[in-house]
Structure 1
Amino acid sequence: MRSLIWALGLSGTAAAAAVSTTIANDHHATTTAPQPHSTEDTPCAIAKSRAEAFMSAEPEATRAFMLPSIAFNCLKSIPVDKENDMGLLNYLEPYIHFQSTLEPLAAPPDFYLIPGVDVLSGFGQIRAKLSNDEYDSQVDFALELSYLFIQASDGHFVYKPAILDVFQFGSLSSVVSVADNATALPRVYLRSDFEQFVANDTDVYDIESIDDVPIVDFLEAQACFAMGSGDGFSPRFPGQSPDVQVIKFTNGTTFNDTLVASISVNVVDYIGSAGVIHEYFELPVTATPTSSSSLSSTASSTSSATPTSTQLRGYPVPVVKHAHDWISGYFMNGSEYEDIAVLSIPAFSPWTIPETKINGTFETLEAESVVSEFLQKAKDAGKTKLIIDMQANPGGLIFAGYQLYNQLFPKADIWDGNRLRANAALDALGSTAEKVAPEILFDAVTSVYNENHEAYDSWADLYGPQFIGEQNFVAQVGVNASQSNFTEYLEAAFDVLPSLEEPPLLPALAEAGSFNYRNAYARDDFNGYPEQFKYEASNCRLFYTAEMIVDPVAIWNLTVQVVWADGQCVNGSTANANNTISGDVVGFDKKVLSTVKAYDGPGSLSFKGDYEGPQPYTQKSASGPSLII
């Protein structure tokens, strides 16, 4: 189902994105740097001068460093591009309608741990602020747009404007959370101090506050806007980094942590003025690629069976290991662990291969072989207990997860209840597929089942739309596909179909953007909230000690004690009064909700600003919408 929809409708967009990336990279590599029409005391000229001075002192460096305030003042000097900003919002919004969580995010359940966000209202509120001239600079607009995406708390729902990728902000220090024992509350240390402690058993002190804000409150507040896998300490968005922050330790000493902004030395020539930055980094290049080689290489899969090593760094020698390291099996040593086997799965896809280069077929077949071999060897060795270590697993190939479950529980009836958000563009794609590739669509539609394990008969049967509980999966469909040919249907859908044209402003090239197109539902609550909106505590909570951070075997040893030898869990984290692990879990309590001040910008459920609706996006140079079939 997924591959068909993307092949017919969104592959053109993916191709356009690939072309844009190739053109932009060529542009960056070959264009002669324009001379900024500014004096040397303008904010961006100052930033360029500081970068050049750093490069002169450090000629081998790949990035130039400066104080955050200098870089941010440069970004703040870039004026609002109202027309293109409006165009960008109109360009993005049709894609946003595919995001599967829009309705539950706007009306989350009481047990949802973070504030809700109305993404579509947020787009309209940002649009209204543009119309009302409420943004002082281009970076202010870009920040609010990025914050709107971040509040969805969905790693698959991403958009980062290019202007936010000019400089990288943050501290050169990092922090680590460590507990004295696995049931004690952890304390926060500078990573450099922690490494000294591990290497030399040196006395170190934990952090009490940063700029007089208690460390836990500081990290929680920063984490509301953490970028990617950020820990709330570094990296940070523009405007969140002072030049210096004062770190106070529990022994009363302080450390003045100097923060930095950095920029690639390859683009320093293009930051001499606000206008040059806007033109070079944000505006798309009007050029036509002469070869399609970049497209084919972007889509190719290059996973191979060549192993990187026979042992993962920091881990013992495995019994068996995936060629790309993301699944491996171990037997524990010691008489008290002689019946224990461990299956370590830090991810469901390789982290050493770019996502676009991953060969899903090879990865899943290799994983199936590894698990089968490991389970057989464990059985032959008399192992009767299995630890599945999935700490820090960010996800990956969906089918790999189902395959693993099927191997571990071969008699179980696997439930894969999913829904796509109904929207007019999705219906246009499905209805078009029904006209241009009926055999393929029929195979796709009839290969999925409803909650009663009954196959769907047609696209209309699958699409519905339906209104499910408090979640809106209903779309207004203006044209009946059975009464028109597919070309007419597409033409009627141009107001809702995502544009395949060049965007008015470029995203960050390293991470253009994405949406999460489907939700997962529990078998016993398939008309309720998606699984990610539900609260379910762990059966037992433990904190990382220093030994556990540097040695996964220490985690496995403690797991054995807790699960099979009545070891202790963190007080209050288990349903048993004696703090041993339980088959039940602790129920939801509002005390688990964060007390950090919630985001209150556009899209927040408390925001009271004006709303302005979208307009169909068309390129300024285009005479009308083009039909790509």
Structure 2
Amino acid sequence: MKSSCAVPHWGNGAEKAALRGRLGANSLISPNRAPVSYLASREIPELLAYECLTSVPFHQDEALDTLRQLRLFLQFYSAQTYFLSPPTPELELAPFDLNKTLSKIESRVRHNKYENEHSFNGDLFNLFSAFRDTHVRFMTKCYSAFSFEHDYPIIAVSDSPSSIPKIHAVEKVGNNWEVRDEISKINGDDAVEYLMGMVNVHPELSWVDPDARWNQLMVHYTGNDYVGGLFARRYTFDENELVLTWANGTSTLVEWKSRLLVPRNSFNSTDTFYSNVCIRSEKEIEKTRTLYSGRLKYKNSTESTSKAKGKREALPLYKEPLWSRSTNRTLKPIMSFTDNVIQLFSLDNETAVLVIGDFKSSETLVSFAGFISKAISYLKDKGTPKIIIDVTGNGGGSLALGNDAAMQFFPTADHYFGTNMRWNPALQAMLTSNIDPNRTFWDLGQYHKMDGSDFSSYQEFLGPVRSDGDYFTRIARPDLAERNAEKSDGSALPAAYKGPQPFKTENIIIVSSGMCASTCAVFVEAMSEQGVRSVVFGGRARGGPMQTVGGTKGTQDISFDDIAAWAYALLDGKTEALDYIPDVMSLATVDASVNLRNSWRKDNQALPIEFIYDPAKYRLSYTAEMIRYPEAMWRASKDVAWNGAKQLSDLPVNGKKNRASQDASGSTVKLKSKNHSYSNGESAGSADKDLTWSSIGQLIWYKLYGRTR
């Protein structure tokens, strides 16, 4: 008899054996766990959690509505056209046809092919994961109500920063991570080869660069602490056994366990799990829909415009599930900002380290920027000539803060970056309605043309411009001074900083693990444009280069709820007659967003920055000492950048020196999927010959105007 989401009491071996039998002999349940109400304790056998998830029946009508809404939200995703034929082989992205995959899922829904709600939600999660973009997310609460974990997190460490690392287990001991025995094989395969395959096929690996995805598997360092990796903790259930073979020849059969992530009192049966966890109430939907209503004014109104309180900038991205964070340092910070988001260290008499964990502040933007100013002034007064800026694990935050930080280090530079959005009928309707989007992130006054002049109208800004098989708005340059001038709440940042430059360019280096994204990418781009060099750590266990920024380089994400709420506000609630306008989804989500704006360089506009492979100047491996003491990482960075030490990128990649991608030679990489049963959707090459539309935008354009271009 299949179990449900009712509260169980597991304890005797017969019950556990029966559970294992229902889901296969290879499934693992501890024979020694004491009787306990597992859901009450939040830690339960992994198979029991999986049975709860898969006991929720499939709801066909709701699924069809979800797919209809997804098509409308995805029309805002700025970079989707580039995945039909990925232009950057170093990123090892498979060709992916969004429309083909959505149509395939819809066909399965209409023919009632899904056994349960979990399998449908899983297909949606896998669809979004194909983009490997941490701004493009869709995870439902129904799918992620439990995490699955085990006690063998891993790290790739070497004897020296310039040698190829090996895979080791890591154990949390007190406040430290301790490197343990070497793992030679995983499920009978060479450990490195197994993990190399996992890099390109596991759906939860969300970084666009394969070396950053590798680091995401491992215990890795953020701006403040170490966190456990995705190898040992994830949302996706895997029925396959996991066997670790150690360097001494012994093996361990890994036991998985599960943890409840939603409030325990939110359900007591399968029915209440669906109604209270999986879908939203009508009250919540209406509250979200009207979030910005009444805050905007009609165009040409003589009344002052009230300031909207919506998301104005990109948000931090990566969310590590439920690993406690800690680290040990022999160095103590000279000064720290709130929550240790920014910390200043003195590495030696001539070198300081500024750790920027992210670009968000629980205080004001001014206080965040002011702390960086204070740190720079302190170092100038002290006469410290060199600085290491550590953005390891920085997932982004306020775009204004990233730009401001770059301006403080290069006050006289012209920090250029361009952005554009994917044109779509919903965007067209929203920005040309009778409601004025002034003082929102849609405000036309906050953008210039590339030559610095103003746009004459929203229509001039919107275009659309036909490019790369899709439709876009014109590339625009943010007007940072105008953005700050419009802030009346005391949060305006300086429009400029006075020179001289506080550090010589050659005396600044950036340190990263490749796990830098969004606003962090904007900051690194601005610094690199001025000639600042970078040192990057980790990546796949081989030689060759690696990117400083391995996450999304898009400049703004926007949640589905924000799209729906802004549409409702900008169209004055008159959305029912417009079937191309998205509404708030009834399906409850943990994450649901798209990247709204692509980023562009001033002098290279062949591709958005996200698809330009830009390796760091230096690449090093982690050592066991660095796992305990981050200052060892900073000293290695200093040695390679200023003292000429050897580096990992000098070593060959599979016998070919400095080749950027293991299998990349100008053609798309074929994904290795041995021992991994994950699917990322339909390849663009498998599209039917009679498929007319290469994008949702084309289909809707035709619907509105009766032509494809």
Partner of 1:478: none
Partner of 1:233: 231
Structure 1: gaps spanning 5 or more residues: 1-40, 302-310, 351-357, 476-485, 580-584, 616-629
Query: What's the secondary structure of 1:50's corresponding residue?
Result: coil
The structural deviation recorded for 1:320 is: 3.0
Q: Tell me, yes or no, if the aligned pair for 1:423 and 1:474 is still in contact at 8 Å.
A: no
Q: Which amino acid aligns with 1:277?
A: F
Query: What's the secondary structure of 1:146's corresponding residue?
Result: helix
Query: What's the secondary structure of 2:181's corresponding residue?
Result: coil
The structural deviation recorded for 1:556 is: 1.7
Which of 591, 596, 601 does residue 672 from structure 2 map onto? 596
Pick which of 396-405 and 367-376 moved more: 367-376
The structural deviation recorded for 1:158 is: 1.2
Which of 615, 630, 651 does residue 552 from structure 1 map onto? 630
Q: Tell me, yes or no, if the aligned pair for 1:124 and 1:611 is still in contact at 8 Å.
A: no
Cα 1:70/1:331, change in 2 over 3 Å: closer
Q: Tell me, yes or no, if the aligned pair for 1:97 and 1:423 is still in contact at 8 Å.
A: yes
Partner of 1:525: 604
Q: Tell me, yes or no, if the aligned pair for 2:77 and 2:596 is still in contact at 8 Å.
A: yes
Partner of 2:281: 285
Instruction: Check if 1:325 corresponds to 2:345.
Output: no
Q: Tell me, yes or no, if the aligned pair for 2:10 and 2:38 is still in contact at 8 Å.
A: no
Q: Tell which structure's C-alpha radius of gyration is larger.
A: 1
Distance in 2, matches of 1:247 and 1:589, equals 25
Distance in 1, matches of 2:39 and 2:107, equals 43
Which of 257, 262, 269 does residue 260 from structure 1 map onto? 257
Q: Tell me, yes or no, if the aligned pair for 1:68 and 1:259 is still in contact at 8 Å.
A: yes
Cα 1:463/1:191, change in 2 over 3 Å: same
Which of 34, 37, 45 does residue 67 from structure 1 map onto? 45
Partner of 2:182: 206
Query: What's the secondary structure of 1:205's corresponding residue?
Result: strand
Q: Tell me, yes or no, if the aligned pair for 2:266 and 2:276 is still in contact at 8 Å.
A: no
Which of 127, 130, 133 does residue 109 from structure 2 map onto? 130
The structural deviation recorded for 1:144 is: 0.7
Q: What count of residue pairs does the alignment treat as equivalent?
A: 519
Query: What's the secondary structure of 2:443's corresponding residue?
Result: helix
Which of 498, 510, 513 does residue 582 from structure 2 map onto? 498
Distance in 2, matches of 1:270 and 1:466, equals 50
Partner deviation per Cα, 1:451-472 (whole Å, 9 max, x = no partner)? 2222111110111111234554
Q: Tell me, yes or no, if the aligned pair for 1:415 and 1:523 is still in contact at 8 Å.
A: yes
The structural deviation recorded for 1:89 is: 1.1
Distance in 2, matches of 1:453 and 1:600, equals 45
Which of 659, 681, 684 does residue 605 from structure 1 map onto? 684
Cα 1:171/1:88, change in 2 over 3 Å: same
Distance in 1, matches of 2:685 and 2:347, equals 53
Distance in 1, matches of 2:175 and 2:439, equals 61
1:174-189 mapped onto 2 (5 Å cutoff): 174-189=153-168
Q: Tell me, yes or no, if the aligned pair for 2:183 and 2:246 is still in contact at 8 Å.
A: yes
Distance in 2, matches of 1:56 and 1:271, equals 22
Q: Tell me, yes or no, if the aligned pair for 1:331 and 1:340 is still in contact at 8 Å.
A: yes
Partner of 1:18: none
Cα 1:257/1:448, change in 2 over 3 Å: same
The structural deviation recorded for 1:448 is: 0.9
Distance in 2, matches of 1:51 and 1:268, equals 22
The structural deviation recorded for 1:429 is: 1.0
Partner of 1:402: 403
The structural deviation recorded for 1:373 is: 2.0
Partner deviation per Cα, 1:403-461 (whole Å, 9 max, x = no partner)? 111110111111021111111111111012xx232766899323311222221111101
Distance in 2, matches of 1:55 and 1:284, equals 36
Higher strand share: 2
Q: Tell me, yes or no, if the aligned pair for 1:283 and 1:505 is still in contact at 8 Å.
A: yes
Q: Tell me, yes or no, if the aligned pair for 1:312 and 1:325 is still in contact at 8 Å.
A: no
Q: Which amino acid aligns with 2:280?
A: P
Distance in 2, matches of 1:125 and 1:282, equals 23
Cα 1:153/1:315, change in 2 over 3 Å: farther
Q: Which amino acid aligns with 2:275?
A: E
Cα 1:312/1:190, change in 2 over 3 Å: closer
Instruction: Check if 1:215 corresponds to 2:195.
Output: no
Instruction: Check if 1:314 corresponds to 2:325.
Output: no
Distance in 1, matches of 2:230 and 2:629, equals 25
Cα 1:443/1:516, change in 2 over 3 Å: closer
Partner of 1:32: none
Which of 644, 647, 652 does residue 569 from structure 1 map onto? 647
Q: Which amino acid aligns with 1:282?
A: C
Distance in 2, matches of 1:199 and 1:312, equals 7
Which of 88, 91, 94 does residue 66 from structure 2 map onto? 88
Cα 1:121/1:339, change in 2 over 3 Å: same
Superposition TM-score, scaled by structure 2 size: 0.64
1:140-539 mapped onto 2 (5 Å cutoff): 140-192=119-171, 204-223=180-199, 224-226=202-204, 231-242=229-240, 244-263=241-260, 266-267=263-264, 270=267, 272-273=269-270, 275-287=271-283, 314=329, 316-333=331-348, 338-350=349-361, 358=362, 362=364, 364-432=365-433, 435-437=434-436, 444-473=443-472, 494-500=578-584, 503-507=585-589, 511-526=590-605, 528-539=606-617
Query: What's the secondary structure of 2:613's corresponding residue?
Result: coil
Query: What's the secondary structure of 1:86's corresponding residue?
Result: helix
Query: What's the secondary structure of 1:426's corresponding residue?
Result: helix
Distance in 2, matches of 1:536 and 1:442, equals 29
Higher helix share: 1
The structural deviation recorded for 1:324 is: 3.4
The structural deviation recorded for 1:59 is: 7.2
Cα 1:169/1:595, change in 2 over 3 Å: same
Cα 1:124/1:473, change in 2 over 3 Å: farther
RMSD: 4.2
Cα 1:371/1:456, change in 2 over 3 Å: same
Structure 2: gaps spanning 5 or more residues: 16-31, 207-215, 218-228, 293-307, 312-325, 475-569, 697-709
Partner deviation per Cα, 1:476-528 (whole Å, 9 max, x = no partner)? xxxxxxxxxx979955962111114xx34322xxx2412211111111123x2
Partner deviation per Cα, 1:191-230 (whole Å, 9 max, x = no partner)? 12x8599899x9x421122222332233344442226666
Distance in 2, matches of 1:290 and 1:443, equals 23
Superposition TM-score, scaled by structure 1 size: 0.72
Query: What's the secondary structure of 1:324's corresponding residue?
Result: helix
Q: Which amino acid aligns with 1:215?
A: A
